[in-house]
Structure formats: C-alpha cells, structure tokens
Structure 1
C-alpha cells in the first residue's frame, strides 16, 4: 500500500517507517524540510507546511494517511507560549491534512491520527477504556487531546475510516520518557517518584508499530484505540521492576513538591497518571508482544 506519514521523522514515525518498509509498503514522509533526505524506490520525502510547497500531486492514490505531527509535550517547561505551540502544532497538521484529502481525486481508505491517554484526565481509582465518552479530564493535556481528536474527526465526515491512537507512555531505549526515568537508577540514585501510587499505562515501541499495522489491516477498527499494554502498573511498581532489570537499588524518593518546583505544570506527566486498558486491541485479537513490564524492560535494556 501507499502510506503517507506526517511526522515521520519523529520518535514513533521513524520506528513506524522502518516497520512498514519491512512489510513492503511504499512510504511518503511529509516534512517541512527535505534537504539532506535520502530517498529509495519505496520511500520518498515530500515537502509540506512551508511556502510554495505543493504535496498534492505526490499524494494522489495514497491508501493510508498517518498523522504523528506535533510539538513534543515533554520538550520543555510548559510556559503559556509553549502550551500554545503544543496545541497549535497539532491542530495545524490535522487541518492541513484535511484540506489535502478534500482536494485529492482519489481519497484514502483510512486516516490514522496520533492521540494520547491524557484525554482521560488523571485518577488513582478509575480504570479507563475506549468506551469512556464523558467525564474526561479538565487539565491542559485533556483539553489539548479533545480538541485534537475533534479536529481529526472531521476527516470521517468525508466517509473515510478514522482512527485515534491514544498512546500511553511509550517505552524505548533511546527516546521517549524511559531514558530520563532510567538515568537516576543507572546512577544508583533511583527511587519512588511522587507518592508512587500513581498509575503508569505503558507500551513497548514494538507494540506501537505492530499495533498501527494491525489497525491498517483490520478495516473494522475505527474511532479511539488505546495504545497501552494490558497490565498497567503503579509508578512504584515500575520503579522496582526497572531497578531489578538494571541491577540497581530503588531507594531515593523524589517528592512531588520538588518535581512541581522543577517542572511546573509539566510535572503532571510523572506525578499524576491514569489506569488505561487497551480493550479494543484485545477485542480484535491483537497479540501483544510485550504485555509484561519485566519482559519489556529486559528486552529494551538487553
């Protein structure tokens, strides 16, 4: 299939591109700049969201559009200016893709948009699944994701299957949150973060890319899909498991007030959480490669 990926040069985008190429798909990467990129017979780079760019001719007869574009939420303190950039970058990419798809003579079969479990808000007691349609959170992340999904849902009005991949904490050995969480442990100063009772709904990067391919191939799947492993853990359990895998102690606590002082509002990413289950993936028979945290971490740090 011919698959266009916006945000294909980011964390998930690179892993997904590599995975799709192994399955003999033709990939188009939509990027603001294409200088220095290397093309092959199955991967091309097309400029978009820049002056004088015209990606439409290259995108005719594209089967799948995947949107992973957006400013990183953990790339710096959440100042008002940065929060505005986080929101606007997501809405801009969706709106641009919507206009492109409207213009195409041959519309895609499927539109897959990145999303996040942050839409559910935080809770120590609740368990969230895709059937949650009300009572979403009232914080910055929740509002951001709701607006993001609402904008992306306009693609479905064109009769195109639309899927929202609500990512949890994606585990990888070089990118994402895990290297930052692991660093104190590798320096023998790791320990509980906050009260340790907050939930961490995690997923291995391999299950992210395998899960997206699974959705592409299962045309009955649409709407929100939680991308989390079937067994979420508390932050304390996560830390103890990480310490065991790294053969390091789990002893030095990091109090919540210190993290709030250091990170400001962005501290919610590590001291708050939510217990989220991937019921849709399980119901459709997706075979998680890493449903056990210990096995996932051993694979990553082996």
Structure 2
C-alpha cells in the first residue's frame, strides 16, 4: 500500500512511518520543511505548501504524490501547547483548515481523473469535547463551546468535507496527550525530576493519555481497516485523573509528586492556554476496540516506564 503523510517527519509521523515500513507499505512524506531527517528505505519526501492553490496547470510534486497514494494521512498542524497570541491562534487554525483543504483539492483532482486514494485519515483531538467533568465521552458526544473546542470543530469540518466532496473513506483520530520524547511528557517530567512535580490544578480532572506507539498503531490500524470510518477516540482505554497521572509519573521517576501546580501559576507560564490544562475529558475507546484494535500499552504505569526511557 502507498501512504502519503502530511507531517510525516513529525513526532507521530515518524512513529507511524516505522510501523508502516515494518508492515511492508511504502511511505511518502509531504513536508513543510523537507530534509530534516535521513530517510529510511521505502520513504520518499516532497515539499508541501498548503497555502498555494493548485491552479489549472501541472500539479506540484506533492499533489502528484497524493494522486498516486492509496491512503492520505494528515498529521499537520501548528503546535498547541505554547503561549498564544492572535497571530499564533490564526496559525493554529490556518495550519489545520488550509492543509485539509489543499489535500482535499488534490484528492478531488485525482479522483476526477479516475485514480487517487480511497481513504483520508485526519488528525483531531479530544479537546473537541471541551470540559466535561466525569462524563464518559464516546464519539457521538457534542463538541464544547470554548475556543479550542471550536478549533476542533472547524478542523473536523474540513476533514469530513474531504469525504463529502470526493467520496473517499474518512477517519478523524481524536488524540489525547501523547506519551513520548516530545510534546506533553517532557514538559511535566522536568519539574518532577527537579522535585517540584505534582498534579496540575485540583488533580481531579480526567487526563486522556496515550503512548506514542499506540497512537501510531491506531493510525496504522485505521489505514489498513476499511471498515472503520468517522471520528475515533485515539486515547488509551484507561483514562486517569491528573492526580493519578502525577503519582504514577513520580513513581516511575522516583520523585515526589505531591506539590500541586496552581491555576494562577499556569496562567503566568502559559497564558490563555492555561485553563485547558485543567479541563477534564474521559473518552471511551469502545469503538476502536470493537473494530479489533489491541493496545500495546493499555495501562499508564508500563506506558510511562517505556516513554520516560526516551527522555
């Protein structure tokens, strides 16, 4: 199978690539900054510019790669966890919305020519649900009303428009906090290593996590299983509270984890992002498990033991 991955040279994309190559698939990275990593055998890389319209002339190399793929995966998106300002919020939205639109147009052109991919797998996030306390959230749960939830709504609207306008199968993987060498875990592990770790906020909020090997595994699974479509919660089957997460991390790092990080402290460091760090989401993975996916790391302790080795 030929798989084109927008954002393939990113943290999750590289993990997914390794799993796809091991399974015998060919991979093409559509990259905003090509050349950052040495390519493994079976991987090609082309430059990708999502703001450039295709026009009526010859297709750029990235659109040709989309046309020749069996499945297109979109992992592109400006990073969420940093201080926001108006410019960065616009980048958060544009990098998600316009990437999906560009890929949709390339798929549409390919399908009109009698070829093209049969599936489009788009990234999303459990943040689409908003702050839902103890409510168990399956994929039919309504979206929240805060800014980040509405970003998720706009993101998924463009994702599912790919299917509506081209007829391909579409999956949106609603990802939780990924445990690995990049992203969320290094940010919370550092203060723990310095003996100032502890739960963020009250600690009672549900914290949807997933090991990096499993989020890549979920993408591989939905690529290979054409009976899966629609939104899919891409989190571990056993969500925990922030207090439980901090305790488990402390045990793995052999550090205390009792000192809470207050909300006002988060506001100083993260600004407008801070409230979202104490939101509570408790997703269920029943849809994914019913489809046959088996988690490599269903429990937090072993997942953290594995992930901190990469830090």
Give the distance between the partners of 1:258 and 1:40, measured in 2 at CA: 43
SS of the residue 1:81 aligns to: helix
User: How far is the alpha carbon of 1:256 from its aligned partner?
Assistant: 1.1
Unaligned runs of 5+ in 1: none
The answer on 1:283 being equivalent to 2:283 is no
The match for 2:133 is 124
The match for 2:183 is 176
SS of the residue 2:250 aligns to: helix
User: How far is the alpha carbon of 1:35 from its aligned partner?
Assistant: 4.6
SS of the residue 2:68 aligns to: coil
Count of residues in Structure 1 that have an aligned counterpart in Structure 2: 298
Give the distance between the partners of 2:278 and 2:153, measured in 1 at CA: 22
The match for 1:48 is 48
The list of structure 1 runs, each at least 4 consecutive aligned residues, that deviate by more than 6 angstroms after superposition, is: none
**Deviation per CA, 1:42-98, whole angstroms, max 9, x where unpaired?**
111112217694423333331000000110101x21111111110011011001001
- CA RMSD across the alignment: 1.7
User: How far is the alpha carbon of 1:186 from its aligned partner?
Assistant: 0.8
Give the distance between the partners of 2:212 and 2:254, measured in 1 at CA: 23
Report if aligned partners of 1:94, 1:152 keep a CA contact under 8 Å in 2: yes
1:154 to 147, 161, 166: 161
2:174 to 166, 175, 184: 166
The match for 1:202 is 209
The match for 2:121 is 112
The match for 1:28 is 28
The match for 1:190 is 197
Decide whether aligned partners of structure 1 residues 228 and 40 sit closer, same or farther in structure 2, where only a CA change above 3 A counts: closer
Give the distance between the partners of 2:292 and 2:33, measured in 1 at CA: 39
Give the distance between the partners of 1:290 and 1:35, measured in 2 at CA: 32
The answer on 1:86 being equivalent to 2:95 is no
Tell me the TM-score normalized by structure 2. 0.91
Report if aligned partners of 1:130, 1:279 keep a CA contact under 8 Å in 2: no
Tell me the TM-score normalized by structure 1. 0.94
Report if aligned partners of 1:37, 1:45 keep a CA contact under 8 Å in 2: no
The match for 1:259 is 266
Give the distance between the partners of 1:146 and 1:292, measured in 2 at CA: 29
SS of the residue 1:282 aligns to: helix
Give the distance between the partners of 1:6 and 1:252, measured in 2 at CA: 40
Unaligned runs of 5+ in 2: 53-58
Give the distance between the partners of 1:38 and 1:196, measured in 2 at CA: 41
Decide whether aligned partners of structure 1 residues 246 and 81 sit closer, same or farther in structure 2, where only a CA change above 3 A counts: same
Decide whether aligned partners of structure 1 residues 63 and 178 sit closer, same or farther in structure 2, where only a CA change above 3 A counts: same
